[in-house]
Structure 1
């Protein structure tokens, strides 16, 4: 009732000052990458994000009655361009969406000074889950260490990993190196041999050397941390070398429908861990069609909209919208600022009921953030390519965060010390 009254008062004030309200907006720029070697994955993600927010603008007048301005600043996935975009938009933005682990790592040291929250759903620096140390950064709803842990859990569920060999095919980039601490920890604990196989940015489309090594090593499994053109290159080589696809598992950025469609039935069995799932029957899809697609305001198409990445883009914008909504209720104003959004992002409670209320049925697991937990621990599902599309082949999986809690604390402390003086959220007792 308190929050309702606050918003009612804010709405009344806005109504009395209609001219001023018309000029208001929630500025949530996106550091997009629709060009460059990662464009194939960037485009559906950006389209899903944009369409969800466009739907809110058309259906609801924005969030809390304030329109959302989600303009894109093109980075081409370049860290240098990403930092330029950040500097360009930071004066009026209420959030930073870096869309690259490299850009995230460059922007992260600036957060305590600029006081603009980073929203990096499912990517970025894994210890950002420690909200007390990284009070302005959110890798909601699941991080890379969560992904690595769930993949190993799933593989172990197929049989003991003792004495097995796992090849880790990864982009030779900060993104590709993120899961190594967890994979190395599990290698020591579970007795399997980890064989890292890096793929350089210039080798993404021609991985003959890497797959020669795979053939030579004869691993029991290949875990792939790929992105953009690397995914299609790896999957094509795996088929060509007749690697058993059922023994190949990717991170959620390596589960892109278009990459598997290239090989079709030959890709059957390939798997990808995921914290999102496309559901064309979800009510939100009908609203997007009605308010955005039918109005001619979408850059997407029917095939793309059925895919994992478009649906994930929708979920990402829904997470942002929930953070904004929580902040509006708490502070009694629809026109929130970056500091208020920081509070909102660490007070998201995405229950099954709320997911249904938002029309996101089956598209994301429940999760809840807090001042100490900036990830929310949604867990995810193992998806498998059936020759035409990705389907769920597991129950809801959850990472064993307690197993690497000490590592999170250690790496967060190292980061704070290396970037001293580093401000932490002393009010957070978690």
Structure 2
């Protein structure tokens, strides 16, 4: 615990002034701020994700002199995953930043209405409001490569072996953080429960209950659900795994969203948690060329903030952070090429983010083979719907245990359409991009 506290405090101190230096050949720069959370009850998940993002950007600056000779100016503003602090960080960074990365569904929802006014892209990879998929309505918001409603649908496919009707008469508990993030999948699960005949049992976990979930697990023991699905974050994940082990809940019936599949959380229970699964749109591949370049230019050079002794380099979350920065860097590159400009502005980056093309060829060119499924964004689709895999804890690490799953658009798109219309109506006058075509 003392080591973790020391590491957390050190990371926070370093992050407060983190701006990535670049070789002298790069004369220009773009500012890509990140609303990080290296402190507080969610630090255990935030630290590896931020380290991965930071190290990828630093690697591009060190190896390539940035992007087309332009320094990628990664800078962190610490929020502690607190919505109020997140909004303060947004206001602080929007003057010079050409993007905002909220790193919280709560913060995302707060800055979303500001995006049309400030004209700054909101990049929330794999999180945020699922209806941001609708690029016509949410012109400045992006959540590639998959949304929470995508994830919820794919989890149901996984536990039903592809036949959701087989869940009829079963009881499914949703153990979720009592926060906008944890509530986000509920509409999708409620719709599926009504259509396919299973009982949904939402079980909220308050921010002060994350490390002591005895009441929630007493309810789980009493209700005896066929599956427990977890929408957890930070200290909640380790707390839930610990309680599941203690109560002897079958791990093969316990499944989490991608933010509940973190190596650091699982190591608390180790072998006892064997069989726990999570859906994941990313896979760790430490031998991928990009990862080896990060190791060479950043980690081995002593410029990374990772815990090398703890194996963080190989973790799902560290390498997912790498992929998130890869998406942003690609958005910069696409915009540079389209507008024939080196130093792009926020509006040009917005175009770049809605024209991402992570096909197999481009993933290979980036040196990210085996780490992310193909996806592409467009004017109308700001998510991309990459699909995801199930990963399973073997006692020491996560392994891929399924073929690539893809979300059922027929189940999700109508929900998106309704939610987007309701949001626009509630926040009228809300601009709609009628020129945006599918």
* Residue 139 of structure 1: how far off its partner (Å): 0.4
Matching of residues 353-372 of structure 1 within 5 Å? 353-372=361-380
Q: Name which of 136, 139, 149 aligns with 1:132.
A: 136
* Residue 44 of structure 1: how far off its partner (Å): 0.1
* Residue 132 of structure 1: how far off its partner (Å): 0.5
CA distance, structure 2, for counterparts of residue 44 and residue 77 of structure 1: 15
Matching of residues 224-243 of structure 1 within 5 Å? 224-243=230-249
Matching of residues 388-403 of structure 1 within 5 Å? 388-403=396-411
Structure 1 unaligned spans of 5+: 1-19
User: In structure 2, what is the equivalent of residue 320 of structure 1?
Assistant: 328
Q: Name which of 223, 226, 236 aligns with 1:217.
A: 223
TM-score by length of 2: 0.92
Q: Name which of 277, 301, 309 aligns with 1:295.
A: 301
* Residue 407 of structure 1: how far off its partner (Å): 1.3
1:424 is the counterpart of 2:428: no
1:36 is the counterpart of 2:40: yes
User: In structure 2, what is the equivalent of residue 185 of structure 1?
Assistant: 191
Q: 1:311 to 1:22 in 2, by over 3 A?
A: closer
Q: SS of the counterpart of 2:137? A: coil
* Residue 24 of structure 1: how far off its partner (Å): 2.2
CA distance, structure 2, for counterparts of residue 385 and residue 347 of structure 1: 35
CA distance, structure 1, for counterparts of residue 34 and residue 331 of structure 2: 16
User: In structure 1, what is the equivalent of residue 203 of structure 2?
Assistant: 197
Q: SS of the counterpart of 2:33? A: coil
* Residue 61 of structure 1: how far off its partner (Å): 0.7
Per-residue CA deviation, residues 183-239 of structure 1 (Å, 9 max, x unaligned), is 011101111110000000000000000000000000000000000000000000000
* Residue 426 of structure 1: how far off its partner (Å): 2.2
Q: Which runs of 4+ in 1 moved over 6 A?
A: none
Per-residue CA deviation, residues 162-191 of structure 1 (Å, 9 max, x unaligned), is 111000000000000000011011101111
User: In structure 1, what is the equivalent of residue 106 of structure 2?
Assistant: 102
Matching of residues 327-406 of structure 1 within 5 Å? 327-406=335-414
User: In structure 1, what is the equivalent of residue 16 of structure 2?
Assistant: none
Q: SS of the counterpart of 1:71? A: strand
User: In structure 2, what is the equivalent of residue 15 of structure 1?
Assistant: none
Per-residue CA deviation, residues 369-409 of structure 1 (Å, 9 max, x unaligned), is 00000000101100000111000110001001222211111
CA distance, structure 2, for counterparts of residue 21 and residue 260 of structure 1: 43
Q: SS of the counterpart of 2:160? A: helix
Structure 2 unaligned spans of 5+: 1-23
Of 420-429 and 194-203, deviating more is: 420-429
CA distance, structure 2, for counterparts of residue 53 and residue 23 of structure 1: 16
Q: SS of the counterpart of 1:108? A: helix
Of 62-71 and 150-159, deviating more is: 150-159
TM-score by length of 1: 0.94
Q: Name which of 65, 72, 80 aligns with 1:61.
A: 65
Structure 2 contact 229–256 (Cα < 8 Å) conserved: yes
Count how many residue pairs are aligned between Structure 1 and Structure 2.
Answer: 411
CA distance, structure 2, for counterparts of residue 283 and residue 157 of structure 1: 34
CA distance, structure 2, for counterparts of residue 143 and residue 80 of structure 1: 24
